A and B are shown apart, each in its own frame.
Chain A
Amino acid sequence: MGKKENEKCEKGITRRGFLQVMGAGAVVSATTHGLSAEHVTEVMEPAEMTKVKLLVNGRRHRLLVEPRWSLLFVLREKLGLTGTKVGCDRGECGACTILINGQLRYACMTLAVEAEGKEITTLEGLMKGEELGPVQQAFLEHDAFQCGYCTPGQIMAVEGLLRSNANPSLEEIRQGLSGNLCRCGAYEHIFGAVQRAANLRRGKGGAS
């Protein structure tokens, strides 16, 4: 992976934005066939193992991956970081939302080899030791989940939103979370949790 590839990822993408650019057909081919043609500098066989260094939650991992393996697969099945969930494996639901170099990404739409050398933050990375991060704490207090399976992705989306907009309006919150599906439908509690998290991050504790 060259430097050029790194530069491609500077701007965060939303689900809708991504689909507008790529079109649904391209999304499918990107997941099954790996890199799209214009970025490939070197042709690799799908099953050929390649070395990759991943920096996840501040910890360095060296591993052998197939070039077609998604970052989601590697995080969950190779590194055991199962806080990142798999909902659709095609960039539709946001359950696998993570931060790459501080930008929101879907881990299912990112190849492990693409993430080489970048700073990857997953749900586990928001913890301070055993203590919950402010967004996690706010989700707990506001009961901002039901089954909890979309929750890691929701929390990461909120983390990303608040990093770029510390005090979002309700409309900005709704827009910011529109790429994260919650089938249990707990959206209103999530909105409340985002407002609480914004306060917690600004050091405004107090009753929720």
Chain B
Amino acid sequence: MSEAFAAPDPKELRDHQIGGPELTARLARTWGTKRGLIGALSTVDHKIIGRRYIITAFLFLFLAGLAAVAMRLQLARPESRLIGPDLYNQLFTMHGTTMMFLFAVPVMEAFAVYLVPLMVGTRNIAFPRLNAFSYYVYLFGGLLIWVAFMLNIGADIGWFGYVPLSGPEFSPGKRADIWAQMITFTEVSALAVAVEIVVTVLKQRAPGMTLDRIPLFVWSVFVTSFLIIFAMPAVMIASTFLILDRLIGTHFFNPAEGGDALLWQHLFWFFGHPEVYIIFLPATGMVSAIITTFSRRKTFGYLALVLSLIATGFLSFGLWVHHMFTTGLPQLGASFFTASSMMIAIPNGIQIFCWIATLWDGRPVFRTPLLFVLGFFFIFVAGGLSGLMLASVPLDTQVHDTYFVVAHFHYVLIGGAVFPLLGAVYYWYPKIVGRLMSERIGCWHFWLAFIGFNLAFFPMHITGLMGMPRRVYTYQPEMGWDNLNLLSSVGALIFFFSFVVFLWNTITSARSGSLSGDNPWDAGTLEWATSSPPPPQNFDRIPVVTNREPLWAEREMLPVAAGLSVENRELIVSTVSEARADLREASPEPSIWPLLAAIATGITFISSIFTPWAVVWGSCIVGVMLIGWFWPKGSKEDEE
């Protein structure tokens, strides 16, 4: 295979010719984002975009949390007249949809966007303009569904939008269309980020970071990205079929014309079950990072943990039918999915034991991030146990669509993903902001969250077993569900209050938290080798990795690669498995075109709700924007 051996330009300043603050300042100029609005909107810095992603995802968390509080207030007593059935339908749909599509998946990808380039020791994410585009598309999708909700056209079909309820016959109007298009927005964005992460991990690792030296968090989001690539097309196909049924009269889900309602459920859950692991696997990566750092020893069973991640990824595609046990599927099929639902407990169990062993053999330091990880153990294991019960068909049939299921998945999702995520915020906040969060408020936050969560969701196991169905806007006093519901509502308020405390902590610590320095936790991975917050170039020189915990192995001097340009954006492209330095490739400059392309995409998607022709003329506008995006502008990167 041929290649271009371009001799380095002798006049170009390289990073071995200068050093110290001068190198830092010059690189920061080369890699920086311009001031002003256009500069901010044109940025391709993964840290700025990652930060925007994180903040936006947390805003959606608060909105969806408010929807939950409203529902809990309504259910606090029987026959309450606070909220009517129509608004209640919108509230539970907005809550679930926002939590799954606008918070949980994006927030995990957001942390990956921010952290992966730092952890693998490179200067920017692969395809940084696509990254900017993905953020804007995500933002527009979220705004679409929430502005619609404010205008009383909020989706009201539940977060999994089952047909026939969501079809043209039972959901006239635009509510279901807006829901389906929001899916398209968020999936485009998630798929783009997944490809970026895969390529960053495969091709941009610092020299020496062989496969067995990749940090566990990076492994976890790498595996997650594959899950996204194989699972998300299913929901895009499903939502496209739905919108076609609704807008141009196709019959995919119409049994009268040869279609089938269960086709929707198959397509949706083929995505929907891996989705749970798309949310959970990055959280396990966070747990591994936090436990390793605060145990003060290398992770026990690194290989077992990596293989567990991969095994979980594979198995997650064999579970989707356990959401459909009550649809009358053949018994053999149900048995197969019961077996695989139980089997996935094995790799997850291995992970838990590896973490316990790491803590056991280490010298644990109980700071707030580790508290949240311990909370995760307790809640997630409880959720896993009710999951094992639900894997059995007879039990699932009994409690299907009751509050038992609601309790189960909140234990798994909040315990399995949100608690590690909160721990991760406390852990990486000093890197992102440069100041530590308050430990005292952090402790309050943890205990309020832990108690509030259990108070809110544990009673739901019992209300579910007593027969209370989910998604009912009220119930009669003689059902005997009132005390437990009141307890859940009190717990939900405490849980919500814990997030207010959290918000308070993040805001006040940004101003007055103690300065963190480069590596406040004495952690071993590369993101802690640079200043906090990191400069635009991430590292003044690209680290050379000699160990799985590079900063523990090299405490005095960091081995680095030298010879990259100081005047132009250059980064090292390495080989896939051994991470040998292979190319010094140019990295894209900032550009406004990704925003313009995202606006064009937004106009196309939203207009297509009203006329199918929008797909035709909209694609032309998107095409023009993409040509503008890719057309060389004469920069060094373009003319290489």
A, B: real partners: no
Residues of B whose CB lies within 8 Å of any CB of A are: none
Residues on A lying within 8 angstroms of B by beta carbon are: none
